[in-house]
Structure 1
Amino acid sequence: MVPVLALGWQAAQGSGGLWSHLAAHVLPHALAQTAILMAGVGVLTAGIGTSVAWLVAAYDFPGRRMLEWALLLPLAVPTYIVAYAYLDMLHPLGPFQGAVRAALGYDSPRDFRLPDIRSMTGAILLLGLVLYPYVYLPVRAMFLTQAANLVEVAHTLGTTRRQIFHRVALPLARPAIAVGVSLALMETLNDIGASEFLGVRSLTISVYTTWVTRSDLAGASQIALAMLVLVVALISLERWARRKQRYSVSAQRARPMARQPLHGAARWRALCLCLLPVVLGFVLPAAYLALEAWERFRFAGLSPRILAEARNTFVLSALATLAVLACGLVVALAARLFPQRGMAVIHRAASLGYAMPGTILALGILIAAGGLDRWIGRTARALFDIDPGLVLIGSGLALGYAYLARFLAISIGSVEAGLTRIPRSYDQAARTLGHGIGSTLRHVHLPLSRAALAAGGLLVFVDCMKELSATLLLRPLNFETLATHLYGEAARGTYEEAAIAALAIVAVGILPVILLARIGRARM
């Protein structure tokens, strides 16, 4: 709640004329661009994610087992890295357009060039190709866990496989589709790098430029509050759309539906349809980054600057992960030990940071941390006649706090998944043996939930490495991470300088994808 209250306080400091100027000249265009972007990404992610989930769950064709986990690979590539890679690949002087001109017999970009990827259409396509796994993962799980007897009954009524998808499977998967699309839209709203690189002036870009370029913190806070209203409306709309829907399962033990073998051209069409988003969303950008990184390494080696930024990224992400896991353990354990209604409300409020775009969160923390830093400075000068400087912002504590607030929900969910598998009778047995809460945690809860803690820690660590918007706003002076280094080089147009940093982020990002694939296989 601290960032939200700080935003409200700072927004109130702006004059009425400032708000009228923003409402007349900034917000309409930014809202329209954001709405178009989110609508396009929502339709594309729902279409791709649901289609490929149905193909791998309902049919058997060559390469299906590999594609089940390969379709998750775009999750390993942050949106700003995909935009960075495609901008370089599809540049008028880049390799792709050069090859097309050579094949067609043209010598110069003045004679022939493809449409510029810097457009709303380009942004929708690239974000959709990266974010569709948010829909694919829950929808595939829903298809696999649906009772087989529903499909069998539909078959006995003369329903074709295509009709089963439209009339049985798709209605039952609507909750999973809604959840997946809402997550994809949250990521779209949080994006700052891809939107800026591709020329889309979204609300997030407006917040950043209003504060950084115009030095107008009150105006940025007002735009951020408008974004927060949009987030609340998005979550409320998703819940309202499903308010009257009820789902039940058969009392019999649910069986996964049998996959129908495909023959002839149909099997290769299914393979190509599933392979296309993997190639466009992961293989092409990752291969291009690997090639560019190798060329850069052969030319100049690993620069000390990259090594220092990698060290900064690792240390910062590791420390933030430990803090997030510790706080997540406290919240989840408190909800387990004290299951009163008030605790449930606090537990839900502690998870709200993940729903807030990183720019909103970072701006609110910047205002609160800046005010606290000024108070610490005044107090230190009055009492000890020393100037401590920016204690919170200058030391990186404010950035660590942003990571904590942003990713606490991941930690809480992972710890809860581990704790729910521990019977409460174990807690009661420990108490009868004279062990208190701390001793029970040390001897019972932690050993039995190590796998869940490790999985949650991995997800948080990778998200901290990839986080760009909060890091841009809150990093100390002269402190760069791999993500901010890549952003700076791409903003300057020197794409080749950032290839190694981008490849390192992608390589680490593959780890949680492997984890998700293993979990998915274990549950099949």
Structure 2
Amino acid sequence: MRDRMTGFGPAALLAVLAVFFLLGLFWPLASSLRDALREPPVREAWKATGKPEADSIEAFARRLGTTPERLRELNAAETLEPGRLVVVKPARWTLEYVTGLFAPQAAQWRWLLNSLTLAVIVTALCAAVSYPLAYWQARYTFPGQRLMSGLLLVPLILPPFVGAIGLRRMLARYGPINLVLQEAGLVDPSNPVDFLGEHRFVGCVLVMALHLYPLLYLNLTAAISNIDPSLLESARNLGHTPWQVFRRVVLPLSTPGLIAGGSLVFVGAFTDLGTPLVFSYQEVIANQIYSLANEPTANPAGPALVAVVTAVVLTLFLLTRWALSRYGASGGVKGLARAAPRPLRGIGSAVAIGLHVAVILLALLPHLSVLLGGLAERWVMSVWPQSFTTEHLQEALVHPVARAGVRNSLIYAAGSTVIDVLLGLGCAWVIVRRGGWLGRLMDALTIAPLAIPGLVLAFGYVGVYAEFYQGEGSDVLRFLGIEKTALPVGVFLVLAYAVRRLPYTTRACVAGLEQTPRTLEEAAAGLGARPWSAIRRITVPLIAANVAAGAILAYAFALLEVSESLILANRPADYPLTKSIYHLFNRVGDGDQVASALGLLALGFMTLALLAAGAFLGRKWGEMFRG
């Protein structure tokens, strides 16, 4: 029965997935790496003069300081004649572009150190905030716990750069935050904090920390909840105080969650593009890569910077895997049952509720700023807008760039979601039903996009797009027999979105299949149903809620993808929603308010999408990305 159900299907699916990842993931990464490590061939124009002596190959070779034989050797596949570009220096592999970034006087040192410093500070701040919250949520009960647990996750429904647009007004020199600090006597009214100028680094830290802390909070909550209660009981029976139990048992056993969540926060802050762009903080590596990607001529510094970012992220990924394996081997295994939460009373309850309320209020600040910024008619030198209007919202709905962005994103996200659902269903079935080495390989391939930052993938697509548009320098296109073509940028955006969001649909379907009995498929096969017919008529309807939830998540996050949208789309007609928001933000006058109004629409859509996904998944929400 197992052989019958897993015959041709997995092999064909693996072939389709291999082509998908070859074109969507490995080719862009290889393109960036090749451009970082290879000096392109040098070409010279063989100008035609009309004089046989001057246009001879011997005369052209003498002008270049070489020989006719060498020119013929370098251009063996080309017709040598006046009026053409001729290769006079072959391509060669080199480390000069990468090593040049680390020259003593190179500005790239400053960019890299700023990005690393930003990521470290954001990670430390998120850990300091998330750990006590996760500990209280996992170990105790207190009034309002369920409501506050949900509100702690509100940063997930808004892209950080959209929140940054709203917070710019809040963080202005005479904006609401500075006015509140002045009223509290913490800031000199004549010299308010310049979050958008001198202290823009601090502004980036605040926005990133408010957006990324849920990633660490969720991992820590799961890690603390899964600690074997018998270990805690043994420690208490040995006379350990609550502080000793925490320091000697809870903290060491929750470290895997701290490492896993911390690595996600670190990579997110290190490669965040939208927030530094909004705060005009140029001295970070992500912003420099964005600038280089938009230069009219190829600059080898761009691929070299991408190679460095990739190396940092992969090194962190490998260190994280190594650390987690070490903790797993040393006994950091979850128990068969969870410890029953204990009631928190008195001062402890007041402190826990107070910290929850403070973090929730700060977490809601970007959403509130987007809401007020999009609806404010006049908001000057006051904590609250003096008057409100819907003009900015109407402008966001009728502006041609905004309308094109909404239309394009709906199409791009729909195309990528169809790809993700089809591949995710098949991959999940092979992972759960087939298992073995093929299931493990499929699981690794489908989860791999989570380890590749969108910034790195987007820059790789710039090189791939150039290869498709120019065609001449592409080894892949020559292998495929394509000399030159000009595919629309939307094709690359759909492919990029699909690669980035495939883990969402795959893990959602895996969670459903793990709770669906295999015996139903076996019974259908015993009655003569073909394998794929049994899957279509039996399995898929049973996991329809999981498929729908994964599709909703993939669609919603693709709709608001930032890095690929900002880097790949350069024509207003091709802009996705997030690029339209950034374009409107740069408009003189009311740009930030119109952008906030459009961001308000995105906020509403993402909220509805997450509510719908949660309704479909129910309690299985937390099982999507486990293990």
SS at match of 2:326: coil
Give 2:548's aligned amino acid. Answer: A
Contact 1:354 1:405 in 2 (8 A): no
Equivalent residue for 1:9?
34
Q: CA deviation at 1:522?
A: 8.4
CA contact under 8 A between 1:353 and 1:409: conserved in structure 2?
A: yes
Report whether the alignment pairs 1:258 with 2:341: yes
What residue number does 1:88 align with?
169
- Please name the residue that 1:474 is paired with: 568
Distance 1:431 1:23, change over 3 A: same
CA separation in 1, counterparts of 2:178 and 2:326? 51
What SS does the aligned partner of 1:321 have? helix
Residues 288, 434 of structure 1: CA spacing in aligned structure 2 closer, same or farther, 3 A cutoff? same
Give the whole-Å Cα distance in 2 for the aligned partners of 1:157 and 1:141: 26
Q: What residue is the counterpart of 1:331 in the other structure?
A: 427
Q: 1:49 to 1:429 in 2, by over 3 A?
A: same
Match of 1:501 in 2: 598
Q: 1:381 maps to what in 2?
A: none
Distance (Å, rounded) in 2 between the aligned partners of 1:353 and 1:440:
30
| 2:195 is aligned with 1:112 | no
Name the % identity.
24
1:367 to 1:38, Cα distance in 2 relative to 1, 3 A: same
Alpha-carbon distance change, 341 to 137 in structure 1, aligned in 2, over 3 angstroms: same
What CA deviation, in whole Å up to 9, does each residue of 1:115-157 have, x standing for no partner?
Answer: 4254333322321221111111122123334343333333333
Question: By how many angstroms is 1:344 displaced?
Answer: 2.8
Per the TM alignment, residue 512 of structure 1 is displaced from its structure 2 partner at its CA by 5.7
Partner Cα distance (2:183, 2:358) in 1 = 25
Report the structure, 1 or 2, having the larger helix content: 1
Q: Which shifted more, 163-172 or 328-337?
A: 328-337
Q: Is the 8 A contact 2:405 2:579 kept in 1?
A: no
Matched, 1:242 2:324: yes
2:242 aligned with 1:127: no
The Cα shift of 1:58 comes to: 2.3
Q: Of the two, which has the highest radius of gyration? A: 2
Q: Deviations over 1:467-493 (max 9, x none)?
A: 111012223622223311222344457
How far does residue 267 in structure 1 lie from its aligned partner after superposition? Answer: 2.3
C-alpha separation between the residues in 2 aligned to 1:164 and 1:302? 57
Which of the residues 282, 291, 295 maps onto 1:209? 291
Match of 1:436 among 530, 535, 543: 530
Contact preservation (8 Å) 2:160, 2:274: yes
Displacement after TM superposition at 1:227 (Å): 0.9
Find the counterpart in structure 2 of residue 269 from structure 1. Answer: 351
Deviations 1:323-371 (A, max 9, x none): 2111222322334454342553354134322211112112222322332
Worse-superposed segment, 321-330 or 425-434: 425-434
- 1:231 equivalenced with 2:325 (yes/no): no
Note the C-alpha offset of 1:54. 0.8
Structure possessing the higher relative contact order (Cα contacts under 8 Å, 6 or more residues apart): 1
* Residue 111 of structure 2: aligned partner: 30
Root-mean-square deviation (CA, aligned residues, Å) is: 3.1
Of 264, 277, 281, which residue of structure 2 is paired with 1:183? Answer: 264
Distance 1:330 1:392, change over 3 A: farther
Please list every run of 5 or more consecutive structure 1 residues that lacks an aligned counterpart in the other structure.
379-386
| Structure 2: tracts of 5 or more residues without a match | 1-25, 41-93, 378-388, 475-482
Alpha-carbon spacing, 1:171–1:19, altered in 2? closer, same or farther (3 Å): closer
- 1:523/1:291 Cα in 2 relative to 1: closer, same or farther (>3 Å)? closer
- Tell me the distance in 2 between the aligned counterparts of 1:20 and 1:169: 44
SS of corresponding position for 2:327: coil
1:138 aligns with 2:235: no
Asked if 1:293 is matched to 2:389, the reply is no
* Aligned counterpart, 1:382: none
TM-score by length of 1: 0.87
Alpha carbons of structure 1 residues 491 and 447: separation in structure 2 relative to 1, 3 Å: same
Which residue identity is paired with 1:436?
Answer: R
Letter in 1 for 2:594: E
SS in 2 for 1:75: helix
Q: Is 1:65 aligned to 2:146, yes or no?
A: yes
Deviation at 1:279, TM superposition (A): 1.1
1:19 & 1:258 partners in 2: Cα distance?
53
Residues 160 and 211 of structure 2 are in contact (CA less than 8 Å); yes or no, is this contact kept in structure 1?
yes
The 3 A distance-change label for structure 1 pair 340 and 45 is same
Q: TM-score, normalising length from structure 2?
A: 0.74
Mapped contact 2:204–2:276 kept (Cα < 8 A): yes
| Other-structure match for 1:463 | 557
Q: Which region of structure 1 is more displaced relative to structure 2, 464-473 or 328-337? A: 328-337
Aligned to 1:368: 464
Residue 81 of structure 1 and its aligned partner are, at CA, apart by 2.1
Indicate the larger mover: 325-334 or 514-523: 514-523
What residue identity is the alignment partner of 2:394? Answer: L
What is the alpha-carbon distance in structure 2 between the residues aligned to residue 145 and residue 39 of structure 1?
27
Q: 1:272-351 residue pairs with structure 2 within 5 A?
A: 272-281=354-363, 283-295=364-376, 297-303=389-395, 304-305=398-399, 306-336=402-432, 338-342=434-438, 344-351=440-447
1:487 corresponding residue in structure 2: 582
- Tell me the distance in 1 between the aligned counterparts of 2:265 and 2:471: 39
Instruction: Report the CA distance between 1:399 and its aligned residue.
Output: 0.5
- Looking at structure 2, the residues matched to 11 and 487 of structure 1 have their Cα atoms a distance apart, in angstroms, of 29
* Cα 1:310/1:154, change in 2 over 3 Å: same
2-structure distance, mates of 1:328, 1:250:
28
Post-superposition shift, 1:37? 1.3
Corresponding letter in the other structure for 1:7: S
Which amino acid is the alignment partner of residue 256 of structure 1?
Answer: A
**Distance (Å, rounded) in 1 between the aligned partners of 2:306 and 2:621:** 42
**Are 1:221 and 2:221 an aligned pair?**
no
Residues 220 and 254 in structure 2, CA contact (< 8 A), matched pair in contact too: yes
Q: Which residue matches 2:543? A: 449
